[in-house]
Structure 1
Amino acid sequence: MTREEALALMQAHTPSESLRRHMLNVEAAMRWYARLWHEDEELYGLTGLLHDFDYEQHPEEHPTWGVAYLREHTDLPAAALEAILGHAPATGVPRRTRLARTLFAVDELTGLVQAAALIRPDRDVRGVTLGSLNKRFRTRSFAAGVSREEVEQGARELGVDLDTHLSNVLQAMQGEAATHETDLAT
């Protein structure tokens, strides 16, 4: 599966711009970590891009509906499908691979970074600083839907301290901000 095919699939199943942006942000963070660890950047990116594509249309069955669809209609590798299942704690699927642990670790955190961008006058993630992100992370009422416990657990599962993880994901999202605007416009 190519990125273009994955992007088209995600867009076809996801009407909400905010959820599309979330999946693009997760893709960026996944690719960033793949480069850091010399892993398969395409595999990591596709996993991030497609991890929530079924959420709006099948919220009660997410992510099992999406994984079944991907298994039947794409050639996405089994490792990606297992990671997608494992990112949702309710499935009970263990995160046995670095790919699965990375998806879990970046999923919630990208939401916090995006929320920090949205309160800026320019609404641009490129203006978010690590200091302001740390402050927002400690303020539980800010982006209250973001589980700080899952973010902390994700960093532990990756073997990365929390500040480094916050910095990594922020850098990843800032580096892809312009590309995301293009992807959202198509």
Structure 2
Amino acid sequence: MTREEMRRETAFELLTEYTKSESLIKHALAVEALMQAYARKFGEDENIWGIVGLLHDFDYEQYPTLGDHPLKGAAILAERGYPEDVIYAIKTHADFLNLPRNSPMDKALFAVDELAGMLTAAALVQPQKTIQTVEVASVKKKMKDKAFARSVNRDDIRKGAEELGVALDEHIAFCLDAMKQAAERLGL
């Protein structure tokens, strides 16, 4: 499959074939929206970057153990003919694999993955359960509270912004804005 042959609809079907959890599907949609926003910012292909975001955790529900995810998913993507750079970007979001994040796409995926979870959690504790009222300062405050969204890796959020070459506040603000624009499809 060439990059031109990659279709969002096909990627979404693959996601929902392997993922039944509504929260994991919403996470994939959030990461897709953030990847598309960064693709626009960097002048890259929104479709490809969005598909990378959509599929980065598609195998997680069935293969949640360290060592299986995302490698099992990478094998499935290879079988289905996805381009190597797409598969590689997805593999690089798993820090434990120690793969260098070389391309802007690799760096963006790592930078937005955990932050998408933090922003979603911050939205869900708002009185109206909406992303529209979340602010950068409140996200940073929640990042300091280890009990809040405890499965979100704060070090990965900081490291991701640094690798992307963006100040943390700017990265949070950019991602917040992108999620606010996509709020309806994210259910936020």
Secondary structure of residue in 2 paired with 1:111: helix
Partner of 1:45: 50
In the TM superposition, what is the alpha-carbon distance from 1:127 to its structure 2 partner? 2.2
Name 1:34's counterpart in structure 2: 39
The size of the alignment, in residue pairs, is 180
Q: Percent identity?
A: 44
- Report the Cα offset of residue 180 of structure 1: 3.1
1:157 matched to which residue of 2? Answer: 163
1:129 is displaced (CA, Å) by 1.9
Amino acid at match of 1:100: D
- In structure 2, the residue matched to 1:72 is 79
Note the C-alpha offset of 1:89.
Answer: 1.2
- Give the aligned partner of residue 63 of structure 2: 58
Deviation at 1:133, TM superposition (A): 1.5
Secondary structure of 2:182 counterpart: helix
Q: Which moved more, 1:48-57 or 1:169-178?
A: 169-178
Measured in 2, the distance between the counterparts of 1:7 and 1:127 equals 29
TM-score (norm 2): 0.91
> Please, which of 159, 162, 178 is the counterpart of residue 172 of structure 1?
178
* One-letter code aligned to 1:97: S
For residue 95 of structure 1, give the secondary structure of its aligned residue in structure 2. Answer: coil
Alignment of 1:85-96 (within 5 A): 85-96=91-102
Partner of 1:184: none
CA deviations on 1:1-39 (whole Å, 9 max, x unpaired) are: 211111111111111011111111001110001101101
Q: Which amino acid aligns with 1:67?
A: A
In the alignment, residue 27 of structure 1 is paired with which amino acid?
E
1:129-173 per-residue CA deviation (whole Å, 9 max, x = no partner) reads: 222222212223211221111111000000000000000111111
Give the distance between the partners of 1:145 and 1:57, measured in 2 at CA. 18
When structure 1 is superposed on structure 2, of 118-127 and 62-71 the one drifting more is 118-127
State the distance in 1 between where 2:79 and 2:30 align. 26
2 CA distance for matches of 1:147 and 1:130?
Answer: 17
Paired letter, 1:65? K
Partners of 1:32 and 1:119 in 2: CA distance: 24
Residues of 2 paired with 1:130 and 1:151: CA distance?
Answer: 14
* 1:131 paired residue number: 137
Distance 2:150 2:15 in 1: 26
Runs of 5+ consecutive residues of structure 1 not aligned to the other structure: 182-186
* Root mean square deviation, CA, Å: 1.2
Alignment match of 1:120 (pick from 126, 133, 140): 126
- In 1, Cα distance between equivalents of 2:14 and 2:105: 21
* Structure 1 Cα separation of the partners of residues 55 and 132 of structure 2: 24
Q: Look up the match of 2:87.
A: 81
Question: In structure 2, what is the equivalent of residue 16 of structure 1?
Answer: 21
